[in-house]
Amino acid sequence: MTPEEFLRSIETRDPEPAYLFLGPEAWSRDRCRRALIGRVLPLEDREQGVTRHDLSDVELSAVLDDARSFSLFATQRVIWANGAEAALPKRDSGDDPGAAMIGAYLKDPAPGVVVVFDCSRYELDRDDKAKLQRVEKFYSVVRAYVEFARHTPFAARKIADNLARERGLKIGSVELDALVELLGADVARIATEIEKLSLYAGTDRRITEEDIFSLAPSAKASTIFALVNALGRNDRSASLESLDVLVREGEYLPLALSFLATQFRLAFIAKEARLSNASQIQSYFSKQGTPMWKSRAEQVAQTAAAFSVEKLRTAAIKIYETDKALRDARPDDRIVMERFLLELTGS
C-alpha cells in the first residue's frame, strides 16, 4: 500500500500486528511512524511504549522475544526493527528459519503490540529491485507492507506548497520552484528548509530568492555553478577544487551530477533556440513550463556562452556514463566524479 493508504487504514480499523516498510523516502515514513504511534499508544505510554532495534546489531529472534514479553511500564507497545534486510540469510535457501519464526509469531501475536520491520536501504526500482524482492519474499508472511517511493518533482512541489501554506509562509511560485529543485525534490529536506524559512521570516515578510540561497545548506548552487564555469574554461585544477568543496560540505554527489546535467541540458536548448541573453532564456523556458528564475537564467546564459554545442554534447555523454557508474558497485563516488572531470577537461 501507499503511505496515504496506510494512514487511512489505521484511522478506520485496528492496526495489523506487523508491518513491513519498504523504500527510501523519509518524509512520508516519518508521517506514518508518528501516526502509527499516535494510534497505538495512549499519551501516557508514548515515552515507554516505543522500542527500537537494529537488525544489523541484534538477532531477529531477540526482536520477536521482545514483542512477546510484557512491559511493566506500557500497556500497548510499538516495536520498530530498523535494517530489516539484515535479517535475510546470505544465500536464499528457500526454507529459512527466520521467516518461519516470523510466521510462528504472527499465528499468535502479542496483544497490544505492533512490530514494524523497516527496510529503507533499497530503492523500489532500478538496480535495487532484485534485492527488494528478496526482502519481500523473506517477509511474505507479513500481510501489510507500505512502499515509500521517492517523490516526483511534481509531487514534491505540491507537498512543498502545502507545507508553506501550513506555516503561513509568504513565498512565490518561482521561489518555491527554486527551493524544490535545489533540494533535489527531497521532501524531508524541503520540509526542514521551509520550517527554517518560516522561523527566519515569520508570516509577515515575503521570502526572496536570496533567502533561499543563504539559508538552505544543501543548496550548493554557487559551488556547482563554479564547477560549471571551470569546465567551460577547461580548467582542470579549478574543477577538482570545486569538487573538493562539494565533498567537504557533504553534498550527495549523484545529486550534484543531476544539477550539472540540468544546467548543460538547459544551455544546449538555449543555444539550439538561439537565445542570446538571460531575459530571452527566462521568457522562453517559462512559456515552456520549465521553472526559470532570474539568477538561474543568468547562469544558463553564461553556461551557453562558455560551451560550444559540440562540448555540450560531449558533456551529456560523459554525464550519462558517470551516472551509470555511480549506480554500479564502486569504491567511492568521488573517484567516479574525478574521472568525469578529468575526461571532460582532457581536451
The rounded distance, in Å, linking the Cα atoms of 271 and 28 is: 40
Quick one: average pLDDT of 280-308? 83
Torsion of CA 242, 190, 302, 306, to 10 degrees: 50
Is pLDDT at 147 greater than 90 in this prediction? Answer: yes
- CATH 3.40.50.300, the chain: domain bounds: 3-147
The top-level CATH class assigned to 221-344 is mainly alpha
- CATH 1.20.272.10, the chain: domain bounds: 221-344
Of residues 267 and 218, which shows the higher confidence score? 267
CATH for the stretch 153-215 = 1.10.8.60
Is the separation of the CB atoms in 251 and 220 below 8 Å?
A: yes
- CATH 1.10.8.60, the chain: domain bounds: 153-215
Residue 216: pLDDT band with limits 50, 70, 90: low
CATH for the stretch 3-147 = 3.40.50.300
Is pLDDT at 246 greater than 50 in this prediction? Answer: yes
Quick one: average pLDDT of 164-190? 84
Percent of the chain with pLDDT over 70: 94
Residue 222: pLDDT band with limits 50, 70, 90: low
15-19, 103-107, 170-174: range with lowest mean pLDDT: 170-174
The rounded distance, in Å, linking the Cα atoms of 147 and 1 is: 6
**Three-class DSSP category at 157:** helix
pLDDT in tens, 106-137: 999 988 899 999 998 888 876 778 888 889 98
Residue 76: pLDDT band with limits 50, 70, 90: confident
Classify each residue of 206-228 as buried b or exposed e, where b means 16 or more C-beta atoms within 10 Å of its C-beta.
Answer: ebebebbbebbebbbbebbbbbb
pLDDT in tens, 37-72: 999 988 887 888 889 999 988 999 999 998 888 877
Mean pLDDT of the chain: 85
Quick one: average pLDDT of 226-255? 81
